[in-house]
Amino acid sequence: MANSLFQRSEIYDSSRRGNSALEELRGIFQYRDLIVQLVHRDVVARYKRSVLGVAWTMLQPLGMMVVMTLVFSRLFHQVEGYPAYVLSGLIAWTFFSQTTTAAIHQMVWGGALLNRIYLPRTSFSISAIGTGLVNLALSIVPLIALVLILHLPLTINILFIPISMLLLACFALGVGLLLSTLAVNFPDVSEMYQIILMAWMYFTPIIYPETMVPPEYQRWMFTLNPMYHLVKLFRIPIYEGKLPDPQSVLMGTVVSLVTLIVGWIVFSREADRFAYKA
């Protein structure tokens, strides 16, 4: 009986492996329950011991919004409902910066586990994005409350938000995988990235209105900046109550998917070498 069981067993042959990116995809599908468990772990572990629990996820961007509003609302008085403008931008940006940073850390420190048991190597990066998505969804709640308080139009177009979140997640995963590939070789990539993130944030209209940037700079500052499009896709449906223009949707989609595919292929190709680094 044992034999019949073993006959069906999966065969692994190191000399006959297919395309690394597709193998990785197949692995992740097999280990999909693990991704759920890892997200569950990160979300639960973060909240279990704090008194305010889940509220922290919502309070953190709210706190930043209050600070930004106090500091900048006079300066940017032409922006209607500035608190909602800045909060929507901050939420999208925080998701991106936190998940990509977490993806790097997971590879550098979570690598110990990858060195002991076989797991699809993208598991930790994907779960970092998953955890970020849970936090992102939670922080939309206070954003909607703010929109209502400020009497901004809340419309059916808010249903576009899940698409914006998905595109943001794809882009963040692609960037996270590319950075992890680098970080396995050079741990200080993580520090360098923090500086880049800070500069990148100020090149993206998060706390200031787009119109503040002179038109001659807008082209290279915005058009070529993926996060400009992605923040816009997230902000417009909720802050303006409109659907984003087709050009932004197209740019956002193309840039996210291309980054994800490139990141996935590069990471999967290099993944076999990770275990040699430890």
Partner 1 sequence: MEAVSNRVVALENVTVRYHAPEERIHTFKEYAIRILKRDLRFKEFTALSGINVEIQQGETIGIIGRNGAGKSTLLKVISRVLVPTEGRVWIRGRVSPLLELGAGFHPELTGRENVSLNATLLGHSMRDVQERIDDIIDFAEIGTFIEAPLRTYSSGMVARLGFAVATAWEPEILILDEILSVGDEAFRRKCQTRMENFRSGGTTTFLVSHTMDTVRAMCSRVIWLDHGRVMAVGEPKEVIQAYRKAEG
Residues that bind partner 1 (CB under 8 A): 2-3, 6-7, 9-15, 30-31, 33-34, 36-38, 40-41, 44-45, 48-49, 112-119, 182, 185-189, 192, 272, 275-276
Q: Is 213 left (phi over 0), alpha (psi -120 to 50) or beta?
A: beta
Nearer to partner 1, 29 or 77 (CB): 29
Nearer to partner 1, 121 or 235 (CB): 121
Smallest separation (angstroms) from partner 1 to the CB of 138: 19
The amino acid that residue 171 corresponds to is F
CB 241 within 8 Å of CB 155: yes
CB 24 within 8 Å of CB 271: yes
Smallest separation (angstroms) from partner 1 to the CB of 50: 11
Q: Across the chain, which distance is largest between two alpha carbons, in Å? A: 78
Angle value at C-alpha 143, between 141 and 146, nearest 5 degrees? 115
Nearer to partner 1, 131 or 164 (CB): 131
Nearer to partner 1, 180 or 204 (CB): 180
Nearer to partner 1, 37 or 211 (CB): 37
Q: Which residues of 229-241 are buried (b: 16+ CB within 10 A; e: fewer)?
A: bbbbbbbbbbbbe
Smallest separation (angstroms) from partner 1 to the CB of 277: 9
The amino acid that residue 55 corresponds to is A
Nearer to partner 1, 8 or 74 (CB): 8
Smallest separation (angstroms) from partner 1 to the CB of 12: 5
Smallest separation (angstroms) from partner 1 to the CB of 47: 9
Spell out the residues 6+ positions from residue 63 whose beta carbon is closer than 8 angstroms to its own: none
Spell out the residues 6+ positions from residue 218 whose beta carbon is closer than 8 angstroms to its own: 210
Smallest separation (angstroms) from partner 1 to the CB of 136: 22
H-run or E-run covering 100: helix 82-109
